[in-house]
Amino acid sequence: MTLTARRAPFFRRGRRIRRSPVLRRLVRETRLDPAMLVLPIFIDARLDAPAPIASLRGHMRWPVAAAVDIARQAAAAGIGGLLLFGLPETKDEQGLGAADPLGPVPLALRAIRADVPELALIADVCLCEYTSHGHCGQLLPDGTIDNDATLPVLAEAACVYAAAGADVIAPSDMMDGRVAAIRHGLDGAGHHETAILSYAAKYASAFYGPFRDAADCAPQFGDRSGYQLDRANGREALLELDADAAEGADMLMVKPAGPYLDVIAAARARSALPIAAYQVSGEFASLVAASERGWLDLRSAGLESLIGIARAGADVIITYFALDAAAWLSEDPR
């Protein structure tokens, strides 16, 4: 009797269902779908034509007049939605331009909503792109964040974006109490149906560099460690998730995604709300840079990074790979 025959009852041949592409697809546990992907876009009120973003290959700053063009591309690719960031013509100390009804995000929202109704439109709410100092809220005289003074501006901006056609408001500022303030403001203005996707667990990360270039929002002094999460803390993130859910968030986000897969998994286990994860600019740019040097295959690595985020528990993935991934998946969903 052969060794294989003697051992046959006692070991599992897992290779049986891995031996061909059709079998692997049949039993796949986690599946990517373009409809779960959200593309971040940057609307720049100072531009007359799209301008490439050097640190985000393939991405542009879009003038308001061309916002519909990228929206049409996204809809044609079958991705789920857009996350809009605005770059205003001018900035001030208070970031009041965030709530300007004629600002870049409200104007783009109106244009896209009228032309591309099939996309979910998500409006980021933060002051960093609109303040001259680059911080995410208004400041006290000593240069620290004035949390409570910032909340009414965030709520006002949320109402402006909802009125312009946003389906979802996504506060990324990390001010305490912002979800409750925004929910109260939206409801008071009659926007009861507008959802809130809270950046509930947003870490003070080294992976935001290309975004700050794209959105022109690097802080002019200090950093954001006083209001974004310490990268060493996981349990604290759960407290933030709980707090935002209790204040009325409809969806919860973890940002960045790749370095915090454990937090995504913990969020999924803890909450029945939809969980979003933001694969941030530095994650995208790192993979692109490595591929340009021939160190990895961008298609394979990009899809692997996304499947890892989905496997950790994300229902929605915000990623600069959204258009690429949709094309890759349509060609061959390996």
pTM, 2 dp: 0.94
Q: In the CATH scheme, what is the code of domain 32-331?
A: 3.20.20.70
Q: Which of 91, 178, 202, 224 is catalytic?
A: 202
CA distances from 320 to 27, 29, 154, 326 (A): 28, 24, 25, 11
Region of poorest pLDDT, from 134-148, 176-190, 236-250, 284-298? 134-148
Token pair listed for 18: 């891995």
What tokens appear for 53 in the block? 């973003």
Report pLDDT digits (tens) over 212-224: 888 778 888 878 8
Q: What is the pLDDT of residues 39-85, one digit of tens each?
A: 999 999 999 999 999 999 999 999 999 999 999 999 999 999 999 99
- Specify the higher pLDDT residue, 8 or 90: 90
Q: Return the domain boundaries, the chain.
A: 32-331
Count CA within 13 A, CB hemisphere, residue 209: 9
Mean of the pLDDT values across residues 20-24? 88
Which is the catalytic residue, given 255, 271, 281, 306? 255
Residue 255 annotated to the active site = yes
Please write the tens of the pLDDT for every residue from 115-173.
Answer: 999 999 999 999 999 999 988 889 999 989 999 999 999 999 999 999 999 999 999 99
**244 vs 41, 97, 257, CA distance in Å?**
25, 25, 19
Instruction: Give the list of residues 6+ apart from residue 270 with CB closer than 8 angstroms, or none.
Output: 238, 241, 242
CA distance 200 to 240: 6
Please confirm, yes or no, whether 202 is among the known catalytic residues.
yes
**Whether residue 8 has pLDDT greater than 60:** no
Distance CA 228, CA 271 (A): 21
